[in-house]
Structure 1
Amino acid sequence: MLRSFSIAAVAAVLVAVSACAHGSGERRPAAVPLPPDYAAMLAQVAAERGLAPPSTLRIGTVPRDSLPAVLDAASTGDDARLTRLSTIYRVFGLLPEGMDYAAASRSGLDAAVGAFYVPGKREVWLVRDGPLPGSPAGLEPWEQRLLAHEFAHALQDYHFDIPALERAAGTTDAWLALRALLEGDAAWTESRWTASVLLPRLSPGAAVEPPPVPTAPPPALARESSFQYVTGTEWVALLRGDDAGAVDHLLRDGVPLATALVLHPDLPRTGWTPSGVAIPPGVPAEGWQANDSDSLGEFLIASYLQSALPALPSLQAAAGWTADAVRLYRTPGGQAAMAWRIRFSDAKEAGEFAARHRDLLERRADRLTAGAGMLTAVRRDSVTVVQLEAQGNEVTLVFAGQSDAAETLARYLLNR
């Protein structure tokens, strides 16, 4: 279906799109102050959300063939995050050959997106041919739903500052959890407005769903989208069911976020908080460089396992997550290598993950080689993966494009 989104959710897309718009000389469409009937709709959406509407908001329309130019103008970019995610997704084997994370995120975007919001600039855009109708009633019902979703993002930005929230999400795990909160909140608000305002005034049989889109992103990116929009909406509904102000509290007070909290909304009641885990500092040998670090969280553990295993055992194997740490390296030959250490709630949970990860390796490699304290597999995409023997409640994995580099890094981390 056509998707609505906040620009902050697709920084990767915007960086990639901008390359084709610079210097094009194409005249970009302009947004205008919100007309009165649209301001009235914004007030309705704000009432459903329980927040005051923004004092200023602009709106514009952009033809699909001009979409890259408008996205380029809105782009803020996050090169460090993009580079890190591209490396991680490549070593996991989650991207098609030759494609980076930005391009994978962008795949199908031009045909899929129907509306978007630009944080900071406070602009809402509808992707459609022709001018903006004088009233939202002149839009198709499904366009009105997309607009309600974007108005919800405008409320979030006005009250909580989306760019600041994005900057505070220092890890991939926190970033994905924030995206689930923002998109889930916007989808929840959109559904409330649709039920209370839109549906009662429509004639029977009116099309409230957007036209189907023939393209689809790679499976890993589709899982990310479902996590943000579907799981995120379910999470928000549960949060608001217990406390109408719970979402505002999370957005306003800088509460640490983790995808485990989205997947297991009951965790806060148990007193659960993410723990810590560390990868030894330094490098395994002369000429190596340690480049970057991250934490991926429970959702990406499950998504990685789903690259070869069914969803249920993947989710079950990831469910005991309490912390993880990623360290990215550059080998003397300039190749990427990665260490990933995951801590689980106890040794049993760590053992279950280790067993499921061995199942993954058996499906993605022609053979496994057992050594002292480690299991090595050369996947069919030529990435070598080493699984170290679990140490209590921790499992360490090593990924590298060269077998000797993977072995060097694994031996450096063994028993450390």
Structure 2
Amino acid sequence: MRRSFRQPALVLLLSSIPLIAGCGGGDDDPAASRFAWLATRAEQVRELSFEREVPVRTVSRDEVDAEAAQAAAAIAEEALATLAATYGRLGYFPPDMDLHATLGQSMDLFAAWYSPENKAISLIGEVDDQVLIHEYVHGLQDQHFDLGGLLEATLTSDAHLALRAAVEGDAMLAEVRFLLQEQSDADLDQINWAVLINAARSAGEQILEKNELPALFVDYPSFAYGFGFEYCVHNLTGASAASPRSDRPSPFDWSREDALFSDRIPATTQQILTLDGQDPVVRVGLEEVPPELADRLDPLDWDSLGEWLSYLLLRPLDGAPALGDMRALAATWDGDRALFVRDRQTDATGTAWASAWDDPEAAAGIEAALWQLYGGAAIDEGEPRLGRAEDGELVWIERRDERVVALKNVDEGLMPALAEAAFPSGIKPMRLRLRTRPSLAAWLSRRLPGLP
């Protein structure tokens, strides 16, 4: 299978809008002169200056595909088995999926990339000027804010995707400014943002619809470009899809964008989706194995899924009878914690996902969705929380008011105590948890060209 992607989302959507179609600069110029001019234009539209030159190289699509396949083949079987036993078991993809083949597929979405590790831009063949502007802006971000360090410091998949959205949205915003200036002699204060924002959103949705793999494997491109673009438009100009004219004086203060990489780094995907309008995140417990189970269960990994990955988990159920709109349901997210454990006696891997939602009604929708996600049914009339999934594994799904916990493949005798740790009575004083391995979103992004 190959994914049905061709170009970065912004390139696609901009090419369909007559106001700013095409590219400036002239591809007939010698390469060095063109690159130098575009680097200068990137400085101007992003209002930052390069501290050092960013090298540019050109590679073929075949070379990129071969590198992707080689990198996937080099992934240890143990790592893939752990991924399947944790996030696969949680419900993102069938645990028996061929992950070597999945991760080795070409990511045709990308026409170019900037590598924070190599400090260089790679182009796949000839690209338009706006693509290079986008990548040069990533170089500026890295030189001024240490992109690699910021991304490595994110502790959860939710936080990683939120920062990715700021990274991509900022570069897209500068890209739009470049095209406006080159094609229309205009600037960001002269645009009705509704068309561009809606097109960016649609591009992300098309990635999900046309992708032949489980949505988890396009979490970053489906989220960061479209939603990150609107977030940065709103951050800089005050405009949004709902209010498409800027409400701030021109010229706009680009230090507001700088702050997204320093003292106002977005922390959750809900913060991106709500344009900083989210409620405070709720603690839900399951930050560690309960002490009374520590002699039996080893913690393997932990994460926070956030609103976007919660939606991708439930997305296959969208429109199912009695469930309704999974996107709207995921938008009621208030906090979550995934904990993956290994049973010392049986060597079985189990999953535990605790979550909090806006109200009991939303939590009841999540509870019903999880039973359908696992194809589960209660096996004891006297204990409706205990059931068996379609694959034969035990599940425990419990709701109390606006909180829900779902356990899978955990020993039946351990389930009540593990579930209790997800509710207020079981939450212990918070301890700082550092990562020994990247979060899922960070690990998946490393499968893409040039991303740390």
Deviates more, 1:223-232 or 1:310-319: 310-319
In structure 2, which of residues 218, 223, 226 is the aligned counterpart of residue 230 of structure 1?
226
In structure 2, the partner of 1:246 is 256
**Cα contact 1:220–1:307 (8 A) shared by 2:** no
Check if 1:163 corresponds to 2:173. no
SS in 2 for 1:328: strand
AA aligned opposite 1:195: L
**Cα contact 1:84–1:292 (8 A) shared by 2:** no
In structure 2, which of residues 290, 293, 297 is the aligned counterpart of residue 288 of structure 1?
297
Check if 1:146 corresponds to 2:131. yes
In structure 2, which of residues 325, 328, 353 is the aligned counterpart of residue 313 of structure 1?
325
**Cα contact 1:180–1:233 (8 A) shared by 2:** yes
CA displacement at 1:387 relative to structure 2:
0.7
Q: CA RMSD in A?
A: 3.7
- TM-score of the superposed pair, with normalisation by structure 1: 0.72
In structure 1, the partner of 2:417 is 412
CA displacement at 1:107 relative to structure 2:
2.9
Distance in 2 (CA, whole Å) between partners of 1:256 and 1:84 is 29
Correspondence 1:258-337 to 2 at 5 A:
258-267=268-277, 272-279=279-286, 281-282=290-291, 284=293, 287-310=296-319, 313-331=325-343, 332-337=345-350
Structure 2 portions without partners, runs of 5+ = 10-30, 186-205, 239-252, 421-425, 427-452
AA aligned opposite 2:6: L
CA shift digits 1:47-101 (9 cap, x unpaired): 11222134211010112222267679999x9999988765443023322553477
Correspondence 1:154-233 to 2 at 5 A:
154-197=139-182, 216-233=212-229
CA distance 1:408–1:227, shift in 2 (3 Å): farther
CA shift digits 1:373-405 (9 cap, x unpaired): 653444434454321132x432111122xxxx3
Distance in 2 (CA, whole Å) between partners of 1:284 and 1:257 is 31
Structure 1 portions without partners, runs of 5+ = 6-33, 129-138, 201-211
Distance in 1 (CA, whole Å) between partners of 2:45 and 2:413 is 57
CA shift digits 1:28-57 (9 cap, x unpaired): xxxxxx823212112112211222134211
CA distance 1:284–1:58, shift in 2 (3 Å): same
SS in 1 for 2:291: coil
In structure 2, the partner of 1:362 is 372
Check if 1:107 corresponds to 2:105. yes
SS in 1 for 2:163: helix
In structure 2, the partner of 1:23 is none
Deviates more, 1:43-52 or 1:65-74: 65-74
Check if 1:124 corresponds to 2:121. yes
In structure 2, the partner of 1:339 is 352
CA shift digits 1:304-335 (9 cap, x unpaired): 11122249722332223232222110123222
Greater relative CO (CA pairs within 8 A, separation 6+) = 2
**Cα contact 2:363–2:402 (8 A) shared by 1:** no
SS in 1 for 2:267: coil
**Cα contact 1:184–1:236 (8 A) shared by 2:** yes
CA shift digits 1:232-262 (9 cap, x unpaired): 1111111112364333112022645111101
CA displacement at 1:369 relative to structure 2:
4.0
CA distance 1:356–1:342, shift in 2 (3 Å): closer
CA displacement at 1:157 relative to structure 2:
0.8
Distance in 1 (CA, whole Å) between partners of 2:267 and 2:80 is 20
In structure 1, the partner of 2:91 is 93
CA distance 1:101–1:181, shift in 2 (3 Å): farther
AA aligned opposite 2:348: Q
Distance in 2 (CA, whole Å) between partners of 1:196 and 1:251 is 26
AA aligned opposite 1:2: R
CA displacement at 1:226 relative to structure 2:
1.6
In structure 1, the partner of 2:52 is 55
SS in 2 for 1:389: strand
Distance in 1 (CA, whole Å) between partners of 2:180 and 2:37 is 17
Deviates more, 1:93-102 or 1:59-68: 93-102
CA shift digits 1:161-204 (9 cap, x unpaired): 1111112101111111111111222222223323332688xxxx
SS in 2 for 1:306: helix
**Cα contact 1:398–1:409 (8 A) shared by 2:** no
CA distance 1:367–1:71, shift in 2 (3 Å): closer
SS in 1 for 2:44: helix
SS in 1 for 2:111: strand
CA distance 1:56–1:224, shift in 2 (3 Å): closer
Distance in 1 (CA, whole Å) between partners of 2:39 and 2:403 is 49
**Cα contact 2:90–2:351 (8 A) shared by 1:** no
**Cα contact 1:117–1:154 (8 A) shared by 2:** yes
CA displacement at 1:266 relative to structure 2:
4.2
CA distance 1:372–1:289, shift in 2 (3 Å): farther
SS in 2 for 1:274: coil
**Cα contact 2:138–2:171 (8 A) shared by 1:** yes
SS in 2 for 1:337: strand
In structure 2, the partner of 1:387 is 397
